[in-house]
Amino acid sequence: MNDTLVWYRRDLRVADHPALAWASDSGRRAVPVYVHAPHEEAPWAPGGASRWWLHHSLQKLAGDLSDLGLALTHLTGDSAAQLAQAARAAGADSIAWNRAIEPHLAARDETVAAALRDAGLEVALFDSGLLSPPDRLLKDDGTAYRVYTPFAKRLRRQLHEVAIPVYAPAAQDPSGPLPIDVGLDALGLLDKHPWHAKLGRHWEPGEAAAWDHLETFLASAIAGYDERRDQPGVPGTSRLSPHLHFGEITPIQVLARLMPHLDVAPGAAKGAERFLSELLWREFAHHVLWHFPESPERSLNARFEQGFWRDDARLLELWQQGRTGIALVDAGMRELWESGWMHNRVRMVAASFLTKQLGLDWRLGAAWFWDTLVDADLANNTLGWQWVAGCGVDAAPYYRIFNPDLQAEKFDAAAHYRNSWLSAAYREQPPPPLVDLRAARAAALDRYQHHIKQGA
């Protein structure tokens, strides 16, 4: 039996990897391949922080595959052409991969699959990366959900149908990469300027690190998650988001480990239920992106598309640099720049400040997050920004405007978070606030109400 190529993308793990398991279980020799093709992902090729993560995750994956006797081959160029070349070099007659869960990448995959079938290769595709494929969970009338709560309730009832994870395949006799391998460094994922070196002080990519995060979270933070998740100054979240985005761990694996915490007394299960709701929100984000693929570039509430958002490069730059004079916002933006991550509560506050107090286009903020977050995920990023800005599905109402100072008093009362990310010089002499929060709220309300009346 000939070899099988296993095409890796955002599924950088060996456990619960259906494509890899299929190759192993069928008795074929698996030949793992990664093709770097950012032009095929445009306009949503990975940003700078994501490329740093991808480089190191591929490095860890290569080591994990090596432990199974497998060697990862790195290629760059057009996916269909590179995979066909790899199949010839390996003497493979089949190729397997896990389906992409973003619409533009899924369309690319269908084109690649057709080309490879035309070349005489057997193509096997599998679902992975979500609890439920985004095209299968629909309302009774066959349309997509636009509101989270009914979507989550329906998916929650179906969780017992989620397949048990497939764990690591058996080892095979060791082999080296294909002779056409260009090597990891040739992919050019790391910028020449070593700005990204600081990210390594905060993160360790890879499958093993993902499991460490999960087990530590379940052992130490799940019980109080429903309360501590909103407190940016304490370690109350799982920090699994980049690991989930790059497929170093799957939501099915997380759910399997979470289940024992759900099946306890109602009070003790409160944190676990809240964490499950966050997993379901991630599913909802991908559901929305799948059914509304225009959403990363267009407000889903069309009346916010024309004449609503301001365009002010100076205000945007000060927000990006954490120089707004609003302490919680500036702390969040500096955490983002330094670590490639921002606490979710602070993300909402920073996004609300940009879109409502400053009145700038949500897409400007989403683009900055896309380039600077290690967990930059098109579905989550888009849904989050449109939700805060009030222009998406199930969005926060226009009159919900976070007051950063009140949010700081409520969720960072002892200022642990702000003191962690704001320098002593900043705390002693902060920059003057870009806006008066009370006046900016009133102006935002007037702007939204005027626009809504116009579009009515």
Residue after which a domain boundary falls, among 252, 272, 291: 291
- The answer to whether residues 23 and 138 belong to one domain is no
What pLDDT shows up at residue 401?
94
Domain membership of residue 175 (yes or no) is: no
- The answer to whether residues 306 and 280 belong to one domain is no
Domain membership of residue 420 (yes or no) is: yes
Neighbours of 404 (CB within 10 A): 23
Domain membership of residue 54 (yes or no) is: yes
Residues 148 and 280: their CA atoms lie apart, in Å, by 9
- The answer to whether residues 144 and 123 belong to one domain is no
- The answer to whether residues 114 and 240 belong to one domain is no
Residues 412 and 421: their CA atoms lie apart, in Å, by 13
- The answer to whether residues 137 and 275 belong to one domain is yes
The beta-strand segments (E) located in 266-330 are: none
| CATH number of the domain within which 22 lies | 3.40.50.620
What pLDDT shows up at residue 27?
82
- The answer to whether residues 211 and 104 belong to one domain is no
pLDDT in tens, the chain (456 residues): 689 999 999 999 999 999 999 998 888 899 999 999 999 999 999 999 999 999 999 999 999 999 999 999 999 999 999 999 999 999 999 999 999 999 999 999 999 999 999 999 999 999 999 999 998 899 999 999 999 999 999 999 999 888 778 777 888 888 899 999 999 999 999 999 999 999 999 999 999 999 999 999 999 999 899 989 999 999 999 999 999 999 999 999 999 999 999 887 666 689 999 999 999 999 999 999 999 999 999 999 888 888 889 889 999 999 999 999 999 999 999 999 999 999 999 999 999 999 999 999 999 999 999 999 999 999 999 999 999 999 998 877 778 899 999 999 999 999 999 999 999 999 999 999 999 999 999 999 998 888 776 654
Count of structural domains within the chain: 3
Q: Side chain identity at 227, as an amino acid letter?
A: E
- The answer to whether residues 154 and 251 belong to one domain is yes
What pLDDT shows up at residue 456?
47
Residue after which a domain boundary falls, among 241, 263, 291: 291
**Structural contact between residues 73 and 181, judged by C-beta atoms closer than 8 angstroms:** yes
Residue after which a domain boundary falls, among 242, 269, 291: 291
- The answer to whether residues 139 and 265 belong to one domain is yes
| CATH number of the domain within which 224 lies | 1.25.40.80
Domain membership of residue 424 (yes or no) is: yes
Domain membership of residue 196 (yes or no) is: no
Domain of 90 in residue numbering reads as: 3-128
Domain membership of residue 200 (yes or no) is: no
Residues 453 and 444: their CA atoms lie apart, in Å, by 14
Domain membership of residue 359 (yes or no) is: yes
Domain membership of residue 179 (yes or no) is: no
| CATH number of the domain within which 339 lies | 1.10.579.10
- The answer to whether residues 245 and 386 belong to one domain is no
At residue 74, the 3 state secondary structure works out as strand
What pLDDT shows up at residue 207?
98
pTM: 0.96
- The answer to whether residues 95 and 12 belong to one domain is yes
What pLDDT shows up at residue 384?
96
- The answer to whether residues 255 and 398 belong to one domain is no
**Structural contact between residues 359 and 442, judged by C-beta atoms closer than 8 angstroms:** no
- The answer to whether residues 332 and 280 belong to one domain is no
